[in-house]
Amino acid sequence: MADRALIAVVDDDESVRESLPDLLREFGFAARTFASAEEFLASGYAGEARCLILDVALPGMSGRDLQHELRRRQQTVPIIFITAHGDEALRPRMLEQGAVECLFKPFNDTALLGAIQAALQDK
C-alpha cells in the first residue's frame, strides 16, 4: 500500500469527498479528502500528495488561492482543478497558471484518470 500514489481531494461538497476516494482506490491510488484549503494545508499532506484534485470555488481560501500558497511555500504538487461553474474561459486560465487540467463537474472517470496520469508524469 505504501507504493500507491497519494491523491488529495479538496472539495467543500461532501458528496464529492465521499465518492471520489472510492473511484481513486479503484484506479489503484491512495486517497485523502479535505473539506477546505485550510484543512489541507494544516494536515501536512501537501508534501506527500503526488496529485491534488482541487475545487476552484471553496469557502474561505479558494482553490486558486491554495495553488498560489503552495507555490509560495515551494511545495510543488500537480493540480487538477474541478468546478461546477461551466465558464469555458476558466479552463485556459487555469492551465496557463500551471494546472494539469481543469474538469467541469460532472466529469467522467476516463477524463479524471487521464488527468491524473498526466499529473503523475509531470511530477
Q: What is the pLDDT of residues 1-26, one digit of tens each?
A: 457 999 999 999 999 999 999 999 99
**Domain 6-122: which topology?**
Rossmann fold (3.40.50)
- Cβ atoms of 48 and 32 within 8 Å: the answer is no
pTM for the model: 0.94
pLDDT in tens, 42-78: 999 999 999 999 999 999 999 999 999 999 999 999 9
* DSSP annotation string for 43-90: HTGGGT-SEEEEESS-SSS-HHHHHHHHHHTT----EEEEES---TTH
